[in-house]
Amino acid sequence: MPELPEVETVVRGLREPLIGRRIEGMWQDWAPTIHSPAPGEFAARITGQRVRALSRRGKYILITLEHDTLVIHLKMSGRLYVTAADEAHEADRWVHVRFDLDGGRQLRFSDLRKFGRVYLTDNVEELLSHLGPEPLSEDFTPEGFRAGMRGRKRAIKSLLMEQEFLAGVGNIYADEALFRAGIHPATRVDLLTEDDAALLHQTVREALLAGIEHEGASINWYRKPDGDKGGSQNHFFVYGRTDLPCRRCGTAINKIRVAQRGTHFCSQCQPERR
């Protein structure tokens, strides 16, 4: 599933072709993709509205319109791209929602797995009120991070992936942040020291910023809006590198399951704690 760096890259790639464009119509062929409101009301409300801005909240893409906000969650296989209405693309066979734009262009939402969701709302704060702090914002402080960890006894990786605790971090960047901090992913939160928490606060940000710098990880379906792959997968320390040598110490990278997710770590750089 695309995480914060991938979603941020999509947002940045869509700003130039979308901002200022007017939505002239909408088509869909898979009603479950339209989360709310119902497809008929959705189409009637969005038609005629002009795109004012694009931003991100956690893993959600926010397209600010004149009266509403178009909110899109890519889930596992969602892709967004803007193209001429008469131009065909390889990903078109999985397009289930399409927005017609002025100037003869379209915003297409391709989603092979059909897990992606689209919302139209006049109250983004209410829709996304369940999300925790943005890890790259000023609201994400070391003090707040430590306070949110107090009293927890679950594995630290599981907590990092909880969107109510921290918005935007998933399987990939949790592994990368924990490696950078030298913390075993299965370590119980209550075994971490204040110094551990302070370092992890720093490395979460470092891992995400590195992901953005390299424009996201194209491991499975993720592509940038221009169709090119991101390059983050070429710079990971542990994720996806099972049995390959650790970039720091040379020990073979291990893979286990934590919180029902494949989890990568270096046993030498991230020793277990008991």
Instruction: Tell whether 109 and 184 lie within a shared domain.
Output: no
Last residue of a domain, one of 96, 125, 154: 125
Last residue of a domain, one of 99, 125, 151: 125
Instruction: Tell whether 119 and 148 lie within a shared domain.
Output: no
Tens of pLDDT along 39-48? Answer: 999 999 999 9
Instruction: Tell whether 12 and 74 lie within a shared domain.
Output: yes
Q: Residue 2 catalytic?
A: yes
Percent with pLDDT over 70 in the chain: 100
Amino acid 197: pLDDT: 97
3-class DSSP state for residue 66? coil
Q: Residue 245 catalytic?
A: no
Amino acid 274: pLDDT: 76
In a domain, residue 35? The reply is yes
CATH number, domain with residue 150: 1.10.8.50
Distance CA 29, CA 123 (A): 26
In a domain, residue 105? The reply is yes
User: How many structural domains is the chain composed of?
Assistant: 2
Amino acid 146: pLDDT: 95
Distance CA 218, CA 10 (A): 12
* Rg of the chain (C-alpha set): 20
Instruction: Tell whether 109 and 183 lie within a shared domain.
Output: no
Q: Where are the beta strands (DSSP E) in 68-222?
A: 69-73, 78-84, 95-101, 105-111, 117-121
Residue 154 contacts residue 206 (beta carbons within 8 Å): no
Amino acid 251: pLDDT: 98
Instruction: Tell whether 10 and 68 lie within a shared domain.
Output: yes
Instruction: Tell whether 168 and 229 lie within a shared domain.
Output: yes
Provide the 10 A C-beta neighbour count for residue 185: 25
Q: Residue 241 catalytic?
A: no
Work out the angle between the directed axes of helices 194-213 and 142-149 (0-180°, nearest 10): 120
Non-local (6+) Cβ contacts of 242 within 8 A are: 253, 254, 255, 264
pTM (global) more than 0.85 = yes
**Structure tokens given for 128:** 């996304």
Q: Residue 59 catalytic?
A: yes
CATH number, domain with residue 10: 3.20.190.10
Amino acid 1: pLDDT: 81
pLDDT beneath 50, residues of the chain: none
Tens of pLDDT along 192-247? Answer: 999 999 999 999 999 999 999 999 999 888 999 999 999 999 999 999 999 999 99
Structural domain of residue 79, as residue ranges?
4-125
Catalytic residue among 56, 57, 59, 105: 59
In a domain, residue 133? The reply is no
